[in-house]
Amino acid sequence: MTIPSDFLWGAATAAYQIEGSPLADGAGASIWHRFVHTPGLVRDGDTGDVACDHYRRWAGDVALMRQLGLKAYRFSVSWSRILPGGIGAVNSVGLDFYVRLVDALLENGIEPLVTLYHWDLPAALDDRGGWLNPEISNWFADYAAVMFRRLDGCVKKWVTLNEPWVVSDGGYLHGALAPGHRNRFEAPIASHNLLRAHGAAVQAYRAEGRHQIGLVVNLEPKYKASDDPADIAATARADAYMNRQYLDPAILGSYPEEMADIFGEAWPDWPAHDLALIRQRIDFLGINYYTRNVTRFDPDAWPLKARAVRQKQSTYTETGWEVFAPALTDTLLWVKSRYGEIPLYITENGAAFFDPPVSPKGGINDALRVDYLREHIVAVHEAIRRGVDVRGYMVWSLLDNLEWSLGYSKRFGIVHVDFESQRRTPKESAHFYSKVIASNGTILGAEAS
């Protein structure tokens, strides 16, 4: 294996999915707090009120990370703990939580990667229009600056947004995620304001910060189901919508031409000064990769007229995602060829499977997840071998957690969480991953030969 010796092996989480205590110590409500407490929106009525109780158990969780040998931990900050009203007065008790966490990580030799926005918008800002209000770029940059001023001495890698596509698609187009809107006119506006907020936060960082800042997108390569021109065009639309809608403006300064075709009259003509704000130099790009799609034209699929075709021979995860590791190599090669030389991190990769029960010896043999991780890490290595500058890999997720509107029904953790007792049990995948880290990936080379 040719993995660089300073490769960042880590695991990722997000505030609302693990912390619990969402209103503790003066925090304001977020849109997720509201969403989960609206009857019928989340499976089994699950909420993040307790989640993994990480807000209180963070020290034990850091000890666990050290035990696993993680070199990095990617987590997100809850905006409404820092600024309960989204703007205005800083809640220093909320800020202190993250200061303590970062200090503990550093004491344990674990590098923090801090995401400023992983979907939990302060509810007070949603009341002012949320991502539909163009003012949000200033709100976000102000919040980001509070974090930079307090933590840039210790945090060397910042992420503005996690997966703007999901925020817009789930939150404003299809409505399965907070704030739960379903509106073709809103989705492009939300996307555009997310990008403007990203640009404004990067600008704020250039004024305040001394280290690195980047963006995290979820990429899902689209493969045409056939050579039928309708399938080819559908594949291009799906690819533009999911894979290029954010990276093109952020890195190249323009939206993909397919966007107007997809949204029709709902696609505005964006001003050039917005695109200039959006296109800021970033220090790295984070890629979240879970699956690919084989895409076919479907006139009834709204609004893309494209849908994924199920692959009979493939394994699917519990979230219905095809396991297909070679597409991760393809994705990394594609990013390099389209967007140029930019340091890349896999900021999320993982899978939900039904885990077997705890064995009499206390172990959890999650063999499917071990296979998934092995294949995907090998796929990352293949991209590095072919010249892509990949500098780290973070498993999603450290802990089983609240899978958004699917509640606790889907487990992504390499560490099992018993939500009754809050007991943490590293699964076989955690032990496997520890060995990968300790050998800097060489055990995979050995296994493969």
Residue 353 makes contact with ligand BGC by CB under 6 A = no
In whole angstroms, how close is the CB of 283 to ligand BGC at the nearest point?
Answer: 20
State which of residues 169, 239, 248, 348 lies at the interface with ligand BGC (CB under 6 A): 348
Q: CA torsion 31→37→40→44, rounded to 10°?
A: 110
Q: Is 120 in the site for ligand BGC (CB under 6 A)?
A: no
Q: How far apart are CA 415 and CA 398, in angstroms?
A: 6
Q: How far apart are CA 276 and CA 210, in angstroms?
A: 22
Which residues in 250-269 contact ligand BGC (CB under 6 A)?
A: none
d(CA 27, CA 29): 7
Interface pick for ligand BGC out of 396, 417, 428, 432 (rule CB under 6 A): 396
Measured from the CB atom, the residue of 163 and 428 that comes closer to ligand BGC is 163
From residue 277 to residue 316, the character string flagging contacts with ligand BGC as x (rule: CB under 6 A) and all else as - is -----------x----------------------------
Q: What beta strand segments (E) does 176-318 contain?
A: 212-218, 222-224, 284-288, 293-297, 306-308
Query: Applying CB under 6 A, does 126 fall inside the site for ligand BGC?
Result: no
Q: Could you give the count of Cα atoms lying within 13 Å of 189 in the half-sphere of its Cβ?
A: 17
Q: Toward ligand BGC, which CB reaches closer, 1 or 352? A: 352
Query: How distant, in Å, are the alpha carbons of 123, 270, 414 from that of 394?
Result: 29, 35, 11
In the window 46-75, what residues touch ligand BGC (CB under 6 A)? none
Kindly state whether residue 317 participates in binding ligand BGC, applying the rule CB under 6 A.
Answer: no
Residue 409 Cβ, how far from ligand BGC at the closest point, in Å? Answer: 12
Q: Select the residue whose beta carbon is closest to ligand BGC and give its number.
A: 14
Give yes or no for a contact between 390 and 435, defined as CB atoms under 8 angstroms apart.
no
The DSSP bridge pattern shows strands 293-297 and 306-308 to be antiparallel
166 binds ligand BGC (CB under 6 A): yes
Q: Which of 163, 186, 220, 322 is catalytic?
A: 163
331 touches ligand BGC by CB under 6 A: no
Decide if 348 is catalytic: yes
Q: How far is the CB of 396 from ligand BGC (least distance, A)?
A: 5
Q: Does 131 bind ligand BGC (CB under 6 A)?
A: no
The closest alpha carbon to 14, from 392, 396, 349, belongs to 396
403 part of the interface to ligand BGC, by CB under 6 A: yes
Q: Which two tokens stand for residue 344?
A: 């890349």
Q: Which is nearer to ligand BGC, 322 or 403 (CB)?
A: 403
User: Least distance from C-beta 166 to ligand BGC, angstroms?
Assistant: 5
What's the start-to-end Cα distance of the chain, in Å?
A: 11
272 is written with which tokens?
Answer: 């050039």
Amino acid, single-letter form, for residue 326: P
> Could you say whether residue 162 binds ligand BGC (CB under 6 A)?
yes
User: Given the complex with ligand BGC, which of 112 and 170 has the nearer CB atom?
Assistant: 170
Of 220, 258, 322, 348, catalytic:
348
- Work out whether 349 is an interface residue with ligand BGC (CB under 6 A): no
Look up 111 and say whether it is catalytic: no
**30 belongs to the binding site for ligand BGC (CB under 6 A):** no
Q: In the complex with ligand BGC, which residue's Cβ is closer, 350 or 441?
A: 350
User: Is 379 among the residues that bind ligand BGC (CB under 6 A)?
Assistant: no
Compute the distance between CA of residue 143 and CA of residue 15 in angstroms, rounded to an integer: 16
SS3 sequence, 313-341? Answer: CCCECCCCCECCCHHHHHHHHHHHHHHCC
Q: In angstroms, how far is CA 288 from the centroid of its own chain?
A: 6
**Binding region for ligand BGC (CB under 6 A) out of 78-86, 149-157, 159-167, 255-263:** 159-167
Task: Compute CA 36 distance to the chain's CA centroid, rounded to the nearest angstrom.
Answer: 20
Contact 111, 345 (CB under 8 A): no
Q: Of the candidates 61, 111, 163, 258, which one interacts with ligand BGC according to CB under 6 A?
A: 163
Question: Which residues, 193 to 222, sit near ligand BGC by CB under 6 A?
Answer: 218
Tell me how far, at minimum, the Cβ of 75 lies from ligand BGC, in Å. 11
User: What H or E segment, with its residue span, contains residue 348?
Assistant: strand 344-348
Helix (H, G, I), strand (E, B) or coil at 154: coil
Q: Which is nearer to ligand BGC, 216 or 277 (CB)?
A: 216
Confirm or reject binding of residue 243 to ligand BGC (CB under 6 A).
Answer: no
DSSP 370-429: HHHHHHHHHHHHHHHHTT--EEEEEEE-SB----GGGGGGS---SEEE-TTT--EEE-HH
Minimum CB distance to ligand BGC, residue 410 (Å): 7
- Give the residue numbers marked as catalytic: 163, 348
- In the complex, the residues that contact ligand BGC under the rule CB under 6 A are 14, 17, 162-163, 166, 218, 288, 348, 396, 403, 412
